[in-house]
Amino acid sequence: MRPPHLFMIAGEPSGDLLGAALIRGLRTLCGPCLRLEGVGGPAMEGEGFRSRFPMEELSVMGIAEVLPRLPNLLRRIRETTEAVIAARPDALVTIDSPDFCLRVARRARKVLPDLKVIHYVAPSVWAWRPKRADKMAKAVDHVLALLPFEPPYMRAAGMTCDFVGHPVAGTPRVSANEIQSLRSELGIDAKRKVLVVLPGSRGSEVRRLGPVFREVVDRLRASEPDLAVVVPTVEPMFDEVSALLGTSGEGRAIFLRTEKGAAASASDRRKHVAFAMADAALAASGTVSLELAAHGTPMVIAYGANPITAAILRRMVRLDTVTLVNLVTNTRSVPEFLLEDCTPEKIAPAVALLLADTDAANAQRDAADRAMELLGRGGEAPGLRAARSVLGAVATVRVEGSLPHLRG
């Protein structure tokens, strides 16, 4: 049978990475004759994918950023829709970025009502806005889920769904030599305890959490003056993070800058080595909690908001925890300090406990290992599982076997 013809759309860096892994999986199963087209970023292009226009045009967030670029975004939605209709692919595969991707899918389906639409990354309807799944089901047939508890929500809305594993579960382990090398580079003696501080990657997060995290560090240093504080931060936020958390050096913190371009991979690896090196972490709520868990780093999670936003979130969020390690393992292993609880007075003792109490730290490490198993560590690569799921949904080629069952 002929290989499928797929039109793929990724609109941001995380989706680009998922798309690249999916392409590798598809080529493994279908060979080099696979027909792909659409929109993607450098990771997908590295797999031989040719993007119709630079993906960076779609990677905007926030009203202030979107409004000046709205005419171009609307033009790209129209052009991409027209390209899908002209291509008449076996399936449209949209990867995250629902604001762009699902608009294209809905418009294309008006002309091609039988178009198969597959969406990679389920919306977090289990946390808030549950009706998003019903709305998405009007344009999407099949969903690839990153989290093991998501398929029932998608199926209840009328879509088919496979859990394909989370890419964080495939994060390469850090070696003892890598840790020793980074300690030496940063001038951190092997006997010193290390705290990784992660105040977020967006300006609003950093400005809200930076002062809180700085006071937490001050309180911890009062009882443990030799504590080494390491702050990995993305390039665009480096100056702001360093200003809020203090200058590099003995007095405050050591900053790891995440580079762009050719140096990005190496600097990202240094960040992961720092995670593995740390005795504990203090982090903004988000997917970074899974990155920390992948390296067995005990953590405390925090998230603050202005009073109006906090009131809205309390009404919308349906869970008593937002940390993915807790959700995946159905435990409350990772302490959280959210909204009005996001204060130095409450956070500092929780971090101090992880630094001082080996049993508390090890309990978190056990939960982290369990989370990684449930997310697919040790099993088939998520990109290959996703490829099997896509081919099964398209049903244009026969794929031997079904999706392997993940442990747990």
CATH number at residue 331: 3.40.50.2000
Does residue 306 carry a pLDDT above 80? no
Does residue 295 carry a pLDDT above 70? yes
Q: Please tell me the total count of domains within the chain.
A: 2
146 and 210: one domain? Answer: no
Tokens of 197: 């501080």
Look at the alpha carbons of 121, 123, 125, 128 in this order and tell me if their dihedral is positive or negative: positive
Is 0.85 topped by the overall pTM? no
Q: Go through 72-102 and write b for each residue having 16 or more CB atoms within 10 A of its CB, e for each that does not.
A: ebeebbeebbebbbebebbbbbbbbbbebbb
Does residue 111 carry a pLDDT above 60? yes
13 and 133: one domain? Answer: yes
63 compared with 252, residue with greater pLDDT: 252
For residue 6, the SS3 value is strand
Indicate the pLDDT class of residue 260, thresholds 50, 70 and 90.
Answer: low
Does residue 338 carry a pLDDT above 60? yes
Tokens of 280: 């504990």
The whole-angstrom separation of Cα 130 and Cα 124 is 8
Q: Is the residue at 402 inside a domain?
A: no
pLDDT at position 206: 83
The whole-angstrom separation of Cα 232 and Cα 342 is 21
The whole-angstrom separation of Cα 402 and Cα 389 is 9
307 and 282: one domain? Answer: yes
Domain that residue 252 falls in: 175-374
> For the chain, what is the mean pLDDT?
86
Least confident of 155-159, 262-266, 395-399: 395-399
pLDDT at position 33: 81
128 and 241: one domain? Answer: no
pLDDT at position 351: 97
Q: What is the pLDDT of residues 159-195, one digit of tens each?
A: 999 999 999 998 999 999 999 999 999 999 989 999 9
Does residue 251 carry a pLDDT above 60? no
Backbone dihedral region of 121: left (phi > 0), alpha (psi from -120 to 50 degrees) or beta? left
Least confident of 186-200, 244-258, 327-341, 389-403: 389-403
Tokens of 68: 């000046």
Interior angle at CA 168, CA 102 and CA 359, nearest 5: 135
